[in-house]
A and B are shown apart, each in its own frame.
Chain A
Amino acid sequence: DAGVIQSPRHEVTEMGQEVTLRCKPISGHNSLFWYRQTMMRGLELLIYFNNNVPIDDSGMPEDRFSAKMPNASFSTLKIQPSEPRDSAVYFCASRRQGSATEAFFGQGTRLTVV
């Protein structure tokens, strides 16, 4: 199994630009989570999906953030426009809902907004 795949691994962009982060969950997993990790706030849950449907987006910091899951094998997290305070590592994780299993994490995308 290839695991959770995120792209890109690193992204450097200028303030005001649109940024799109991508995630491919593990095949057969029907829950997908987006987290943001910073030194100050730790690991924050931004949004999660069950069966491609957003269930809880209360962690999305602002309207500049949006996430989609058009099918079971792909999700995006978009920031438009980006700001320097969005700089962080963004992790995607997936699991099989209803099973006694943990969430499996991708390698993360390190975003730097200058």
Chain B
Amino acid sequence: AQSVSQHNHHVILSEAASLELGCNYSYGGTVNLFWYVQYPGQHLQLLLKYFSGDPLVKGIKGFEAEFIKSKFSFNLRKPSVQWSDTAEYFCAVKGDDKIIFGKGTRLHILP
């Protein structure tokens, strides 16, 4: 069975700081990986996804993630965060047909 673990439950940063959110997954076969963002009171929206090819994936709003197969990781990064990045971030994995989410990381950016 597949599972996802997000290391940080709550992160507080100042504007312009760099961001890295950890994500590890467990699955024995080929995976597809995702990062979603949920702004307060809204539904989940896709930030970026990995299906195959270049393990460094670039998404919207300056976010990127790197798939490291040997570490079963898919960490999310952004070199310089903005106040508008305040949201909850979810890592997800699709092994078989179903998509399983981590518990999320609440990111709070101080202006």
Interchain CB contact under 8 A, B97 and A105:
no
With a cutoff of 8 Å between Cβ atoms, the chain A residues found around residue B99 in the complex are 33, 45, 93, 95, 103
User: Which A residues between 85 and 114 are near B, CB-CB below 8 angstroms?
Assistant: 91, 93, 95, 97, 100, 102-108
With a cutoff of 8 Å between Cβ atoms, the chain A residues found around residue B104 in the complex are 42-43
Interchain CB contact under 8 A, A91 and B97:
no
Interchain CB contact under 8 A, B100 and A45:
yes
Please give the residue numbers on chain A whose beta carbons come within 8 Å of chain B beta carbons, in ascending order.
Answer: 31, 33, 35, 41-43, 45, 48, 50, 55-56, 91, 93, 95, 97, 100, 102-108
With a cutoff of 8 Å between Cβ atoms, the chain B residues found around residue A105 in the complex are 36, 43-45
Total contacting residues, chain B, CB less than 8 A: 20
A interface footprint on B75-111 (CB within 8 Å = 1, 0 otherwise): 0000000000000001000000111111110000000
With a cutoff of 8 Å between Cβ atoms, the chain B residues found around residue A93 in the complex are 44, 99
Shortest CB-to-CB span from B2 to chain A, Å, is 10
